[in-house]
Structures are given as structure tokens and as C-alpha cells.
């Protein structure tokens, strides 16, 4: 029960982080390689403080890791939480596929009895 609650909290943080288009853009950019907060902020015409807040949300969700390098903060893509999200999506995808397969079988059976 506790493990499931923890997993739900992690997924809540993950999907909340992904709900914002700026944060999704950050992940796309970091998919190309590491970047500083300043480099991430520039295309969005955003302050460093504003970008740092977005990066912190992504870091809290486990999607990004940061490291202080000199006077700047280097950001890198982290994927461990995406694995959690994919596992959750796959579970429900299989669940719905089984239900739809059962519904299809039911209608096929009904069609056969109507003839």
C-alpha cells in the first residue's frame, strides 16, 4: 500500500512536470546534450531565475540532473522517471487492450448468434 502511494506521488510529480510546454522544450533541448541554465533560458527569453524554477521542477521529478560547474549550473537529461511513466502507460495500455479484445469477442459472438 505504501509503495503504491509513493509510486503515485512520483507519477504525479512526473506528469505535473511534463504538463508545461516550456519544461517539455527543456527536455527536448537536453536530449541534444547538456546545457547551462542560461543556454536553456535564452530561446524562451526568460530570466535565469524563471528558468531555474522550471529546471528545479524537472529535477524534483527525476527528469533532469544538475551540477555546479564554475559559475554556472550544467543540466543533463535524466531518464529513470520516464521508465516509471512508460511502465504505468504500458500497464494501462495492456489493460484496455484486454478489455477491448473481450468486447470484440463478445460482439463477434453476438453477430454469430444473430445469423
Is residue 78 helix, strand or coil? coil
14 burial class (0-12, 13-18, 19+ CB within 10 angstroms)?
A: buried
Res 102: pLDDT: 85
Q: Which residue has better confidence, 88 or 59?
A: 59
More confident residue, 56 or 114: 56
Sign of CA dihedral 60, 8, 83, 16: negative
Domains of the chain: 2-114 (1.10.10.10)
Give this prediction's pTM. Answer: 0.71
What residues does 69 pair with on adjacent strands? 72
β-pair partners for 76: 65
Give residue-wise pLDDT tens across range 25-37: 999 999 999 999 9
Amino acid at each position: 500500500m505504501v509503495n503504491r502511494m509513493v509510486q503515485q506521488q512520483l507519477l504525479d510529480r512526473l506528469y505535473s512536470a511534463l504538463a508545461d510546454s516550456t519544461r517539455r522544450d527543456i527536455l527536448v533541448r537536453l536530449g541534444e546534450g547538456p546545457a547551462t541554465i542560461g543556454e536553456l533560458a535564452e530561446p524562451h527569453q526568460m530570466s535565469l531565475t524563471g528558468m531555474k524554477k522550471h529546471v528545479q521542477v524537472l529535477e524534483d521529478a527525476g527528469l533532469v540532473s544538475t551540477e555546479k560547474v564554475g559559475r554556472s549550473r550544467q543540466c543533463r537529461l535524466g531518464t529513470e522517471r520516464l521508465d516509471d511513466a512508460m511502465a504505468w502507460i504500458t500497464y494501462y495500455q495492456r489493460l484496455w487492450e484486454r478489455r477491448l479484445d473481450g468486447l470484440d469477442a463478445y460482439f463477434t459472438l453476438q453477430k454469430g448468434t444473430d445469423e
